[in-house]
Amino acid sequence: MRKGLSEKEMSFISRLELKGKYFFTRDDIKQFFTGSNEMNVYLHHLKKKERIIKLNKTKYFLIPVKAVGGKWSEHPYILIDEIMNGREYCIVGKAAAHYWKWIDQIPVEYEVITPKKHGMVEIFHTRLHFRRRRKIPQGVVKSISGHQFLIASKQESRQWR
């Protein structure tokens, strides 16, 4: 059973929704709180209520009010770009091969090469596999739903077909 939202939670959630800002940072909401400790408490409560998801150290995703039963999905390429703050990564593997239409199979996991992060993360039932490597493949900037992301070039993704 979900708990209701307090007046303060509702005030900054509604402001973010009106702006259409579903990916937000702590700096975006700091004007609603007297200090960082109070902000931490409210963010913790919203995570417990499943209204936000923490993507990285400073970035969060707000589950929209229009989400039926709190269930929502975001495109994996957009999620990866937001988690990596738009730099120093490249989407490779079956995901890149599928994007360039080398294969028809929808990827089960999305492989990302980055010098910073490693491990598996599951967000919105999407498995993201971060591999740490110093040398990142040459990526191509593409756009989906008005959001840019980096993906391996067509020639480089040919090896995963």
pLDDT digits (tens, 9 = 90+) for 102-149: 999 989 999 999 998 899 999 888 899 999 999 888 889 999 988 999
Residue 27 phi, psi dihedral angles, 5° rounding: -65, -30
Among 42, 67, 92, which residue terminates a domain? 67
Q: Are residues 82 and 110 in the same domain?
A: yes
- Give the model's pLDDT for residue 146: 87
Q: Report if residue 97 sits inside a domain.
A: yes
Q: Are residues 80 and 148 in the same domain?
A: yes
CATH number at residue 12: 1.10.10
Q: Is the pLDDT of residue 23 over 60?
A: yes
pLDDT in tens, 148-157: 999 999 988 8
Q: Report if residue 1 sits inside a domain.
A: no
- Give the model's pLDDT for residue 100: 94
Neighbour-count burial of 128, counting CB atoms closer than 10 A to its CB (0-12 exposed, 13-18 middle, 19+ buried): buried
Helices (runs of H) and strands (runs of E) counted in the chain: 6, 9
Are the CB atoms for 24 and 52 separated by under 8 Å? no
Q: Are residues 50 and 82 in the same domain?
A: no
In whole angstroms, give the CA distance from residue 93 to residue 34: 45
| Domain extent at residue 96 | 76-160
pTM for the full model?
0.83
In whole angstroms, give the CA distance from residue 94 to residue 81: 17
